[in-house]
Each structure stands twice: as structure tokens, then as C-alpha cells.
Chains A and B, each alone.
Chain A
Amino acid sequence: MDSETELVRLSKRGDSQAFSKLVSRYEDRIFNLAHKVCAGMPAEAEDVYQETFLTAFKKLPQFRSDSNLGTWLYRIASNLCWMRFRKQRREPVVPILDRPHAHGEGGDPHGGPMFRDWSDGPEELAGKADLRRAVSAALGELPVDYRLAVVLRDIEGLSNEETAKALKLSVAAVKSRLHRGRLFLRDRLDKAVAP
């Protein structure tokens, strides 16, 4: 097995075979990110996947070897996704955050709508085709800044710090977007679980 450091060194000299080995290590993760962020737009996802690696091959001489290659690739892919959806920059409407009285204000701590738990657990919910479609549709509704934070953190499994590096944000900004994005998706899934 070739070491990543050696493959990066050869790739920086323009060796496409060495770079293809690096592609093989990361392409599923990059494609999955593009697929989830470009929800419902497979042609866009394919473009992001391809452009990410072509851009990385060209810019690899600028890559610092003490950095994390995976995070660097996520950063390129995230930026390409962001460029496609940048006109959507706005805050997602999250009813329980945007309408304060909807969740226990004015002296009655439980005066808002009664949130109900869902009877199924995550495994049962994720196994349902209509729920998977609902997740995809809800992600598509989420503004891109928030969608990227949710996909990197909750779908790709990056830490807050890694997500912050990939998105060139502070950890506090990542947490804020993640929280608002999750609440938005929870609201959409709540309607899909029990319309």
C-alpha cells in the first residue's frame, strides 16, 4: 500500500496515476457530499465530483503536506457546491425559533404546541423509502450554508473542527448553522412522520 505522503509527492509532480490512487481513497466520500448537497440534481452532483478532483490535481502544488488531504478535498467540493447555490443565501425558517410564542412563552412554560415524540427510532425511520425522500427534499429546501454544515457534520461524520476547516468558518458559526439546520429538518420530518 502506497503511503499518502508519497502519493501526494508524486501527484504534485503531475503523476496522474499516483493521483488516481488518491482519488480512489476519497471519491466515494466526495461524491456522497455532492449528492446530498445537490439533492435531487444528479448532473450537478456529478459535475462537483469531477471538478473537485480536477481542481485538486491542478492546485496540489499549493497543498501543504502537513494539512489533511480529506479536509482539503471537502473544502474544494464544499466551495464548488456553494458556488452553485450561493443565490439561496438566507436563513432557514424554523418555526420554533422564529415565532417565540410557539414554544412556551409568557408564563406558561408548556403553552406552545405539544411536541410529540416519534414512535419509530432512527433505524426504522431511515429504512422507510418515503422518509428518505422527505430527508432529500428537506435538504433541498435548506439554504446552502446550512445544508453544507449539516451534510459535513451529520452525514459525512466530520467533527465540528473539521467542518469549520472545510467551510472556513469558526467552530461557533458551524454549531449555529448546524443547530438551525437540524431544527429545520426536524420540523420537516415531523410533518412527514405524522402529517
Chain B
Amino acid sequence: MRCRELLKHLSDYIDRDLKGVRCRDLKAHLKDCPPCIALINTLRKTRGVLKLQPKASPPSRLRAELRRCLRRLEEAG
């Protein structure tokens, strides 16, 4: 498997969705391709950084405003 071919399958590989012969070929390629190993590692870290992004919560005034709007909708029938 050449580097270019590997590019198509990187996300499937890090998500453990790559099966069979393609997965075996990719693993074999990675034994002897430091740039591709670095690419996979940094892609994996990118996914990890996204997962660890701080969660945003609605401010309390917005929560209260939404509930007021919902009550008005109910009253309007």
C-alpha cells in the first residue's frame, strides 16, 4: 500500500472501522513509513482534542427566556 492509498482509509483506521485486507495492508505499511505514522498519530490527537473541547452551556437568562417562550406558545394554543 502506498502513502496516497493509505490517506483514504486513515479515519476508518483510527475509528477501528477498517477491516480485512486493507487493515492488514495498512498495518504493514506503517511498519516502514515514519511520515504516515506521524500523520496517523496527529490525526488521532486531532480527534482527541476535539473530544476534549470544553462543553458550552446555555446561560441561565437564556434558559429562562426559552421557558417563557414555551409558556406563551402553550397559552396561544
Does B28 lie at the interface of the complex (its beta carbon under 8 Å from any beta carbon of A)?
Answer: no
Determine the interface band of chain B, counting residues with CB < 8 A from chain A. 35 or more
B33 touching A110, Cβ below 8 Å: yes
Known: A114-B35, A121-B48, A186-B42. A104 touches B4 (CB 8 A): yes
| Chain A, interface SS category | helix
Known: A46-B62, A50-B62. A104 touches B3 (CB 8 A): yes
Interface string of B16-38 (1 = CB under 8 A from A): 01000000000000000111111
Determine the interface band of chain A, counting residues with CB < 8 A from chain B. 35 or more
| Chain B, interface SS category | helix
Contacting B55 at CB < 8 Å: which of A32, A113, A121?
A32
B69 touching A54, Cβ below 8 Å: yes
A122 touching B66, Cβ below 8 Å: no
CB distance from A3 to the nearest CB of B (A): 20
CB distance from A69 to the nearest CB of B (A): 16
A49 touching B66, Cβ below 8 Å: yes
Cross-chain pairs A/B with CB under 8 angstroms, 30 sampled: A20-B67, A23-B67, A27-B63, A27-B66, A28-B55, A35-B56, A46-B62, A50-B66, A50-B69, A53-B66, A54-B70, A105-B2, A105-B3, A109-B2, A113-B35, A115-B35, A115-B39, A116-B38, A117-B38, A121-B48, A122-B48, A122-B49, A126-B48, A135-B49, A150-B50, A155-B50, A175-B12, A179-B10, A186-B43, A189-B46
Interfacial chain A residues near B54, Cβ < 8 Å: 132
Interfacial chain B residues near A132, Cβ < 8 Å: 53-54
